[in-house]
Structure 1
Amino acid sequence: MHIREIVLEGFKSYATRTTVGPFDEHFNAITGLNGSGKSNILDSICFVMGITSLSQVRAQALSDFIYKQGTAGVTRASVSIMFDNRNKEQAPDGYKMIDELTVTRIVESNKSKYLLNGKNATQSAIHDLFKSVSLNVNNPRFLILQGQVTKVSKSKPQEILGLIEEAAGTRMYDQKKAEALKTIAKKDDKLKEIRTTIDTDITPTINKLQQDEQNYKMYTELKKRYKLLNDQLIAYEYWQLITSVKQTETDVENMESQTSEYQERNEVITEEIQQIHNEVKLIERERNENVGNEVSELQTVYDKQLVELRNLTNDNDRLAKQLSQYKQQLTDSEQQHKQLTNSIENLENDIEKSREELVDLDKKVLTDTEHVKQLQRRHEAVSTGTAVVGSSSQVAHGSNDDSRLTNKERLDKYKEQRGEIATKIKQLQQRIDHSTGELKKLRTEQKSLTSKQGTYSSMRSEFDKKKMTLNQCEKDLAKLQFDVERLKQLRSDIRNEDENMARDQNRLQQMRRQNHQLDFQYTNPTPNFDRAKHVHGLVATLFNINDKKYAQALELAAGGKLFNVVVDTDETSKLLFKYGDLKKRITFAPLNRISSNLIPKNKIESARRELGDPNAIFLAKDLVTYNHSKYETLINYVFGSTIICSTSAIAQRVAFDEKLGLNAMAITLDGDIYNPAGILSGGDRSGTNRGPTLLETVAEMNQLEESIRQYNSNSRQELTKLERDYVQNQNLQQQIDSLTNEMQLLELKLAQNDEHRLQTEITTLEQQEFNNKKELDEQRIEEKVLNEKISELEKLFKNEGEAKKKELAEIEQLMKKAEKQVDLSQKRSREMQTQIKDLEMQLQSQQAELDTLTSDMDTLRNTIETSAQTLNNANKTLANKQMEIDELLSNLQTKRSRLTEYNNRIHSLHQKEQQLIKERREIELQLEKNKHSIVDLQNIVKESVRRRQLIIEKHGRWIEEEKDKFGTSGGQYDFASMNITKMQKDAKDDKEKVTKMSKHVDERAMTLLEQKRAMYKQLLTKQKKVLKDKANIERVVAEWDKKKQEALRIAWQRVNKSFGEIFSTLLHNANAKLTSLNGHYDADRAPKDLVLTGLEIKVQFGSLWKETLDELSGGQRSLAGLSLVLALLQYSPAPLYILDEVDAALDMSHTQNIGLVIRKSFRNAQFIIVSLKDGMFSNANVLFTTKFVNGISTVSRAENVPNKKHKDKEK
């Protein structure tokens, strides 16, 4: 099989359809300038054969095969090769009957397809076709590329041996050997596994199963004993359930009977309350008819009489006051008359004195002038020493100013003043003695009146006592602050509250039944267990939500933690688990153990600032409130790591946005949950159609409980207090009214009493006495001061030897004062003249006023006599009116006492009504409890029936058969003679033992024991087979090694012979051979048992063998390499060989010889050689020349006629 023709279209540089051919069946050459497309023809052959390594044909992708990669309007590449298949010896398998084969490959749109004789074919089919004739393009021995010859000449001994192995085909043996060795290793592993299984699994298991067999027998016996005990206990439970149902039904009947009694009693109480209401109405009607109207009428009359009495008293007081005023006016007029008379006398005296004083002043001016002159003379005399020092004070005279007086004058003046004060003291003492005597007489008269009448002090004392009592009553009444309207309102409110409380209690009980998951039932684990201290309740009941709009989000935030039961310590939870008789699965949250992961507030605030909205996010904990600080850690544990968000977008940022720095669980108000772990849930948008959330339900239940507590406390306590205050208010009001009336009468009587008048005079005299004593004390103090001054001046006269200098200074000072006094005296003289004129005018005015006053005094005396007679008549009228009022007050007090009796009876009935209402409320509560108890008992009956039915369903067959024997004395089910507690303990122990043994006892031990024994035998058989297979494989491998060495020896010999012949043809007078690396044997003389480890190329020139190829020139080494390659090709011939510029490093003569070798040694193969040297393609029969014209490669063909003739001759 050889190539006849190649058709290229759009392939690499061949843009247009180009036909290369026909090819010579033996020797073809391709030449052309670099880049003209000659190598592309070789690439097209590899392209059609299905090469997978595109880099070997200078391409990176399928598009590289298309002309200019499809950018010049050519979008596909196509290559077709027509093979001449008439030589049947070289024909591929399956195609020997076909004389011509055409293989086409097309690339378009990065897709590739194959055609074989015009029909689609797969790549693998094309590969198989060419592999069958030794043309494997992916491992090409038929393709010798540029540089490959040089690589062979530089190959190591092991690489050259590899080329021989590849040519001999022993590489397949190596692959199979490697696979065989892997199989042997697997067999060894299998053997090891089998031995391990036997030693570590089968044998110990058999030993263990033998022990398990014994344990199983013990387990079976124990299980039978447990079953017997369990059946008896089940029978006891069934029998007890039947008994319990009967007893419970009896209890239900008793409770229903008790309920009927309570209902009857409730009806009786309602009737009694109604009777009380009727009786209260009758008493009120009787009170209003018999007493109320009379008291009201008497009070009205009394008030009117009292007003009249007050008017009379006021008239009397007015008349007395008027008379007193008249008397006072007369006294004042007399006093004024006396004062005017005195004043006139004084004015006359003053005028006379003023005239005298004016004369004196005039004299004094002359005297003062003379005094100044005397002082001057005295100053001169003292200065000259003609006067005695210390006598200058005698010069001063004629002035009230002490500074102008001499010491002698001042002494005389002080003594005179002392005498006046002594006289005044004597007068004051006389006045005091007089007032003391008058007081004594008045007090004696007062005592006489008191002893005779004895009424004033007793009336005054009684008045003071009543006033104190009245003040206290008024204080008590103000302190009481009783509100009658509030009492009426409360009585009405209590009736309404009783109805509301019953409704709220029913609603609360209904909600508790509907939300039974919130009810934590348990029994006290220890005696005296403090429930309030140790068990706080479910988490859901320990806090309140601030706003209902957050309820759904908070409920999702808490999740299952809402149903955790909060206890004080973990020890409490252990006690409840063990002894609390819990009815369902419970999760406890001990306050001393729980911990929280609270998100810091600064992170929340930072996130809010980042979001720009303070209401965008809230920490779930901040949306709830709780009553005790001890729940702080609990609330942090439940809500401290979850954030409630206003929108889904914000929740998504809270959960996943690293910038916010939260990465926390986020829940929207609609219930969407964003978990930082990447889990999202939600989607519920039922809105207002959904029912209340659990937290809303809990909030409503808490509100109902608080309302009920308020019903039972505040209003009722206030009503009880107001009932007490009502009675106290009535009593206080009556006392105040009575005391007020009595005090008014006493006040009128006191005003008319002589003792009262005496007391007033005594008080006046006592005040005058006090003033006189005070003035006396002041005069005595002034007297003491004057005595001290007089004593000082007398001492001064004894000191005549004072310094002259001091005397002169005193004289100078006196001179200045005297001069000033002269001026003053002159001024006073002028003023005195003016004063005398004023006094004379006042005298005339007062004389006229005195005449008028005398006339008025006569008129007043007549008026006083008339007023005294009128006052006497008014006193008699007042006394008569007072007697009438006393009689009326006595009658009113009697009526008020009867009114109080009615009020007390009404109050007693109200108290009885409250007791009945309280009893009715307790009965209603008991009825409600009985109602729930009946429901609970009925539920117990249902539960007992259900449990009995479950027992029948589970153990129905033998229960039905044996139930008549349950409880029968002397039988298998004689429960009376059985110790049930011991049986339960034994059954529990047996069950624990059975459970414990069931974990260790394998009920399949008998079966497994037989299975393991069979497995043991099977493994032994398998081990023998594996050993046998391993021996067979090792034997086959040994045979393969022998065949490989034999084939290598033959290939070595044949390749070695061809190598020497071809090398000597290429290079005259030279030889070459391949020698073994171990022992350096030639191929003909090597021992038969020699195992080759490598081959070396040896070259001979003449008679001298070169030790290494390094001694050769580059061209010689290339010829040696090329000779070895051609020798290998000759050993394993293929129908086609392609050589790409293998002569590049050779000179022309050597190139010529290569062509001769090809023509001589490869007569049955087709060669396609790319070369630029004439020596190579001159031996070719057909020469193809490539050119690059206008960017497109073209091909021309020429035949070498001499070679053609030579070829025909050879044929």
Structure 2
Amino acid sequence: KFSPGMTAVIGPNGSGKSNITDAMKWVLGESNVRNLRGQKAEDIIFSGTEKRKPMSAAEVTLVFDNSDHQLDVDMAEVAITRRIYRTGESEFLINKRSCRLKDIHLLLADTGLGKDSMAIIGQNRIDAILNSKPEERRLIFEDVAGISRFKINKEDALRRIASTDRNMERVRDVMATIEEQLGPLSEKAEKTKKYMTLSRTKRDYDGALGFHNYKTSDRLLTRFENDNIAFKDEEIELQTELSKLEARRHTLQSASTKEQEQLKLWEAQYTEKQRDEERLAGHLRLLDEQLKTARRELDETSMRISELEATQKGEEQQLRILNQLIQDERAQLVEKESKLEELESNYKKAVEDVSAEQAKFQSLQSNREAFEQHQLELVSAIETAKASIRSLEARKEESTKQCEVLKAEIGHVDSELQAARGEFDTLGQQFNAISAQRQALVDGGKEAALQAREERKELQKLRTQEQRVKGRIELLAQWEEQHEGYLEGTKNILNGKGAWREQITGAVGDLFTVEDKYTTAIETALGGSVNHVVTTTARAAAEGVKYLKSIQGGRVTFLPMDSVKGKPYDTPALHESCVIGTAVDCISFDNTYAHIFQYLLGRTLVVSSMDDAIGLQKKYNQQLRIVTLTGEQFQPGGSLTGGATKRKRASVLSRKEEATSLEQELVQIEEQIRSLTVSLENLEKRVEEAEKERGVLDESYQHTNLLYVASETKVQNIQNQMDRKKRVLREEEQRLLQIDIDLASTTANLKDQETA
């Protein structure tokens, strides 16, 4: 029969009964997978079946009823959770808060629970217990008895002691090494102090000199920059004016060259035309003379033909008369036979003359027909020549008009070209100005970006320095809170609890502040008194002593405010020039503790150097208590304490001084960070504004560039058009010249024809 609270799990083999105990052992810290009947860590995670997907993690939570607070946790229930992932990562949780496996072991140490406890006995474990060795059985009994926590604590303490022993051994080795180096290092330290003093002096002088040089250079640089800007402006104006004059010179020179060439061409053409006209006039005169000669010859030939015709008519009449005479004479033939031969002879002669005249007439008739044919041909040739001349003159007039039109068009195109070139030059100047402005913006943006990058680096450096200073301040605050630097007894009193603790005002080192230059002197003057504890009453001091005894917490000197009385110290030595004052004059504190610090430091004098202290002791017969700013201490009677001490950490006073210095440094760093942040924001705004302005300029740049290219294309097109018209003009002028040549040739031919 099970008592209430017990649960039995039954089932056939393979149903998962052992999985429950394995899960409990695993969540309690079992790390050996073989003890959980597995081969590797992934075996714990569900690997899936035909119907269910594999899981990516395994988790077990074991909840304990802690209503009796047997577990050292202030909760009614304690849930211990363990998870493992397929990636190999695992985690432990107590009440859903991440923890270490060691925390779980410590939590369950006194309960008899754990991965190896007897609360969970797996299969074959009973035989292993019965067959175990005595040492193993002792471990089992210790676990059941609940002393595991103490054993764990003991092992942990032994490990820490061993570690501390090893650390102490290393510290002793380091100390031995340092002690060997102490002598040479002391000499080096003195030299270093002198070097640092001289370096600071040199740095001050260098800083002053550099500041002076900087101011001088800055003024000169400003003046030079202003002069340079003025010179650059003047240079830009002169360069612009020079560019305009140069462009105008080129334009005028080009126009002058073109006009001179055109003038030379016109002069040559005019001279050639004059020569052509003279040749044409001479040719026309020649043709006219030839024509007159031909007409005169034609008239003479006509007259000769008329004369020959008249002669022929006379001869025919004479022939008729002779025939009549012959007929008349035939009648008288007989009578006139004597005269017949004469008459026959005359007749033959006359017949011969008539034949000759007839042959001559036939020749003249042929010549007349040939001349008339030649005259017709000449008339036709003259008409053809005149028609050619009229055609050539018409063509010449047309070509001349075409040349005039082309010249007018060329003049108009040239005007357009000049206007386009002026627009092109204006756009070029605008383009160059925008390009220069854009480049200036780019350069300014780059400079601002570079400066911003440098300031970001400086800001990062300052933030790193800020974190370092904050870390140091936190460390010093932690030391302050933990009262590091004080002796064990002082720390135990300051950390103690009880009604008497309210009457503890604090350790001496916590109740005053001191300037940097007096820190060493005050530390020397106080010595171990810095660990004294100030209480309001002697009763509280007695309670503190009892508390230390009860905890074996060391020894402490208490300074009850109701019993410790310090009196002002008056000695003639205070009026010596080498005496800075009493030690109490070199610190600051609440007036409530005035008699305490008067008691501790009121009779100690502070001087600058050891020589001053030695002279003062001799003068006052070794009766004074004196400390120097460098830490030497002179006691009444003549004893002298000095040298150097080894410290692992800063003393209480230097720690406070360092904290104050670090606070000031932190304020300066934060101010620098704020200033640099503002400057960086301004720079980023400048960069952003420069980018925006650059974007606007880029648009203007692109627009002007398009206009510039379009203007350049327009100029090129007009130039091409002008070149084409000039080429056509040259062709027309060549054609006109050829017409003049053809006209001169035709006129000459006409004169030749008319002359012929």
TM-score by length of 2: 0.29
Identify which of structures 1 and 2 has the higher relative contact order when contacts are C-alpha pairs closer than 8 Å and 6+ apart.
Answer: 1
TM-score by length of 1: 0.20
Please say which structure displays the higher CA radius of gyration.
1
